Chain A
Amino acid sequence: MSTGEILILLALAVPLFAAAATYGLNKLPDVRETVTVIAGLALITVCAALAMRTGHGTPPQLLVVEPLAGLSLAFRLEPLGAMFALMASVLWAINTLFSIGYMRGRNEAHQTRFYMCFAIAMFAVMGVAMAANLFTLFIFYEVLTLSTYPLVTHKGDEVSRKAGRIYLAILVGASVMLFLPGVIGVHVIAGSTAFVPGGLLAGKIDPVTASALLLLIVFGVAKAALIPVHAWLPKAMVAPTPVSAMLHAVAVVNAGVFTLLKTSSYIFGPNVMSEAPATQWLLWLAAATIVMASLVAMTRDELKARLAWSTIGQLAYVTAGALMAAGAGLVGGGLHMLTHGFGKITLFMCAGAIYVATGVTRVSEMRGLGRRMPVVFVAFLIGALSVTGMPPFAGMWSKFLLITAAFGSGRDVIAWAMIASTILTTLYLIPIAVRGLLPPVGDARPPEFTRPGGAPGLTVAPLVMTAAGTVLLFFLIDEVAAFLIPIAGAAQ
């Protein structure tokens, strides 16, 4: 067995082991959470080792089984997947610390189930990131949906059960009725579903059929939350904040846009994409989603709902990048997955820290709160600036790249939509932090801490780390972009 195969197996086994250990250590919360943290660190190591072996020479790959000819469960690393895996593992480790602080700070029930489902979701993310073909990706995509369902309904009350039903109905419904037929269609036309640089379907498909498949896949992958298959995301905000932070701002939604990027680059290929008429319609839809989601976000007073709508808009940036059928669009989309992930997880963790400390969830009640929680609000400002796209924070580069790619490929509408939404984002995110940090107006008093001592240290430290990450990524972006170039190379 080669090193690459062992590493792939480890990347899948470590989260599964964490899940099993969490279950076994039900009675010993301290040990249980130590194991999860250690598993997170181990997974970072494995993913880093995988990333280092990707991009030159033969990448790590592994064939598990082949139930029917041409239909195999197989893994094969490529730059985008390696980046996604590494990013997810880093954020999982950080978010685990946050989870410990949050779950203990709020004395939540069913913590073992929580950590276990979280670990299984990470297993699914690893599978999605490393999948060698669309079929394998589909399987892990479904595992991800099912493993996050118990996390969405964690509270177990009527509201969260209802949200859970919508979550399942949209994600499973779209994937079974649209995504799966799309996958089968690809298999029928090409004889396999493998991710091939330059596009599996290149030269094998006419524009009309390609359009039909593209529509099936883009709407079938509801995790990418393009309007009109976005409704599950705001509903999923009933989950505990660590879940919203890690899964519904990073892992789950990124699995969606990751699928679209991979499909665009490795299944259709740029030529087929640019010839299919549906690409243009979907780009319009993405532009509409970018603007509409920002507009809706402005009207939301509930902080997590506002962040969720912001996520919908930012995901549409990546979708647009995937659809642009240009190398810069794909690289820009990949980078945006990364930078938005770091920025948005920071914002969600801030929302969680504020909630644990004060029980406040509404933006309108947070005025002046920054005086009590300066670290959290400064981190929020940094995250907001990064998501908006201001230097020196990472979000700037990916947005810059996407907007130039849009202008470069002659798709001015999408570029203007992105610019408009940047302005809107500035309006709905920055003021939260600024008003929090400014002194309260008149005799209004900022809300008191309901938990003695305010936010637990374990909820604050992680958000500082990710906020620092957005600054670090600003300076490291060249290396990441160079790493991702092969996916654009496939597109030229």
Chain B
Amino acid sequence: MSFFADLYAAPPALLAHAAVLLVIGPLMAAAAAALAPNARWAWMIAVGGSVFAFWMALGVAGEVARQGVVTYAMGGFAPPRGITFRIDALGAMFALLISAIAVAASLFSGHSLDGEIRPGKRSLFQAGFLLCQAGLLGMSATGDAFNAFVFLEVSSIGTYALIAAGSGRDRRALPAAFNYLIMGTVGATLFVTGVGFLYAATGTLNMADMAQRLATLDDNRAVQAGFAFIVVGLGIKAAMFPLHGWLPGAYAHAPSLMAVFLSATATKAAIYLIVRFAYTVFDPGAAFVAHFMDWIVAPLAGTAIIVCSLQAMFQTELRRMLAYSSVAQVGYILLGVAMGTAAGLTGGLLHLFNHALMKAALFMAVGAMALSVKAVKLTDFSGAARSAPWTMAAFGVASFSLMGVPLTAGFLSKWRLVEAAIGVEWWWAVAVIAVSSLLALVYVGRMLEVMVFRSAVAGGDAIKEAPIGVLIPLWMLAMASVWFGVDASIPEGLARASAAAVLGVR
């Protein structure tokens, strides 16, 4: 975090309120975008709102690096009575990640909506996108358990509508959105039920307060049931194997903007809440937390890594391959989280950060290639390297990171995960990561083989190079994967500080 300690991103008057402006900014922008006179204005508002949120996230990160925790009481009502925002290193990391991806995604949306959404609906689409962003940022900022549920729903409602909006391009977006609606609502309901149990046991909704009281309630059945409800509910939102059924369809058929944004942020925010609850709200020393992590989360994560990597190998549609790969990567992240050590959590969070960057770049590149041609199947992309070299090169860089090629970000986080697994003597996890790296080599190799070495299908339209407005955010993301693979001090510092903040609270 040393990089952020010297960072004063905004004047003090603004920094004092940065924690809340982070969420309010996109929320207000959402309202403005809905009222925008045309799509162009809506796009500019979306970019403005996202950039503002990123700016505030940088400000908050600086404050967190200096103070450890930033607390903001809404309306001046002190906790535990009032709703508070409480951002520590973990929250700051997620706020930075989500808002950074949102900036890239909003730039991308200037072009990506053209072929997918009717002009009249684009302002509303941008409003939904900003709403979703506000919800996700709120989840990472809030210090209140019920408030977390509210933000979860805010982001989800935006997401359901936006996935369904993909029906203009691909009718299968409608069942996918419906699927996600049902699964997501079940998940949110389970989550809020769990929060209810905790409220019954502790009489408070403030997370810090709740944590204090839960420390003495390890044997309370209501608490244990609440834990199960919360983790399973969030597990659905995080696409924890085998609760990931909604994800491939949602990623594959949503408008390409949503595939970019969701893959990089939505499941990540749910994982954030899992970490937040499991390690800071509940007593991490409690036997039921440790057992749940060791015997349920970890084996499921391992299964996800292998099974979904295999599924990715056998998909015929490019975006489905990437979606299954995402579920496998969630497995890696949860594997690190389940270890429960600082090293494991650091590795998991680092992988989460890197995976967000690479997967956003991959989906963006695929969306960019599909701008000119209706390309869905993997074979539709054959010959892309010839006709769209710049887009394809960015795809290649990000896919190298996905494979875990040395000197890309993906390599370092897998390295850290293996180290952490050796540290807790989970030899099976080492083997799982080694095998799955090989599987990733196969499925990414298949994509690259088709795109680089095969020539375009005769008679079809050649894939065109993406416009400069798409190439800029795309290459920002791709270069980030390389930069953080060569010098990982920023993400590693964030992940390390987060792990320390989470595990050092008690």
Contact = CB atoms under 8 A, between A and B. Distances in A.
A177 B423 contact: no
Given A68-B492, A176-B441, A181-B418, A139 B423 contact: no
A146 to B, nearest CB: 10
A180 B422 CA distance: 13
A68 B417 CA distance: 13
Of B412, B415, B492, most buried by chain A (CB within 10 Å of CB) is B415
A67 interface: yes
A212 to B, nearest CB: 10
Given A139-B406, A177-B434, A177-B438, A184 B487 contact: no
A178 B412 CA distance: 17
A138 interface: yes
Given A139-B406, A139-B407, A65 B415 contact: no
A173 interface: yes
A230 B334 CA distance: 37
Contacts of B486: 65, 67
B111 interface: no
Contacts of A138: 406
Interface string B466-488: 00000000000000000001111
B485 A180 contact: no
Contacts of B167: none
Nearest to A65: B486
Contacts of B419: 184, 187-188
A185 to B, nearest CB: 6
A50 interface: no
Contacts of A139: 406-407
B200 to A, nearest CB: 45
A66 to B, nearest CB: 8
Interface string B389-421: 000000000000000011100001001101100
A442 to B, nearest CB: 52
A430 B228 CA distance: 75
A68 B441 contact: no
Contact of A173 (B406, B415, B438, B488): B438
A481 interface: no
Contacts of A188: 419, 422-423
A68 B415 contact: yes
Contacts of A176: 434, 437-438, 441
B430 interface: yes
Contacts of B416: 68
B5 interface: no
Contacts of A71: 412, 415
Interface string A46-77: 00000000000000000001111001010000
Interface string A27-54: 0000000000000000000000000000
Judged by DSSP, the binding face of A is: helix
Given A181-B430, A184-B419, A188-B422, A67 B407 contact: yes
Contacts of B487: 65-67
B14 interface: no
Nearest to A146: B405
A176 B415 CA distance: 12
Interface size class of A (residues with CB under 8 A): 20 to 34
A184 B434 CA distance: 11
A65 B20 CA distance: 38
A146 B405 CA distance: 12
B407 A73 contact: yes
A89 to B, nearest CB: 24
Interface size class of B (residues with CB under 8 A): 20 to 34
Interface in A136-180: 138-139, 142, 172-173, 176-178, 180
B450 to A, nearest CB: 16
A142 B406 contact: yes
A233 B391 CA distance: 37
A154 to B, nearest CB: 15
B457 interface: no
A185 B488 CA distance: 20
Contacts of B430: 181
B434 A180 contact: yes
B435 interface: yes
Nearest to A177: B434
Given A138-B406, A188-B422, A68 B412 contact: yes
A409 B90 CA distance: 57
Contacts of B407: 65, 67, 73, 139
Nearest to B492: A68
A184 B404 CA distance: 14
A71 B422 CA distance: 17
A339 B231 CA distance: 63
Nearest to B434: A177
A156 B415 CA distance: 36
A71 B437 CA distance: 20
Contacts of A178: 434
Nearest to A67: B488
A68 B419 CA distance: 13
B78 to A, nearest CB: 41
Contacts of A177: 434-435, 437-438
Contacts of B434: 176-178, 180-181
A344 to B, nearest CB: 30
A217 to B, nearest CB: 14
Nearest to B403: A176
A67 B412 contact: yes
Nearest to B418: A184
Contacts of A173: 438
A468 B22 CA distance: 75
Interface in A232-266: none
B99 to A, nearest CB: 25
Interface string B424-449: 00000010001101100100000000
Of B419, B434, B487, most buried by chain A (CB within 10 Å of CB) is B434
A172 B405 CA distance: 12
A184 B406 contact: no
Interface in B290-338: none
Nearest to B420: A188
Contacts of A172: 438, 441
B422 A184 contact: yes
Of A138, A173, A181, most buried by chain B (CB within 10 Å of CB) is A181
Nearest to B437: A176
A449 B250 CA distance: 66
A162 to B, nearest CB: 15
A184 B417 CA distance: 10
A57 B422 CA distance: 38
A186 to B, nearest CB: 11
B89 to A, nearest CB: 19
Contacts of A135: 406
Interface string A310-327: 000000000000000000
A443 to B, nearest CB: 52
A65 B412 CA distance: 13
A73 B441 CA distance: 23
Nearest to A183: B415
A132 B99 CA distance: 40
Given A71-B412, A139-B406, A176-B437, 20 more contacts: A65-B486, A67-B485, A67-B486, A67-B488, A68-B488, A71-B415, A138-B406, A172-B438, A172-B441, A173-B438, A177-B435, A177-B438, A180-B434, A180-B437, A181-B418, A184-B415, A185-B422, A188-B419, A188-B422, A188-B423
5 tightest A-B CB contacts, nearest first: A139-B406, A177-B434, A184-B418, A188-B422, A65-B486
6 contacts: A66-B487, A71-B412, A135-B406, A177-B434, A177-B437, A181-B430
Interface of A: 65-68, 71, 73, 135, 138-139, 142, 172-173, 176-178, 180-181, 184-185, 187-188
Interface of B: 405-407, 412, 415-416, 418-419, 422-423, 430, 434-435, 437-438, 441, 485-488, 492
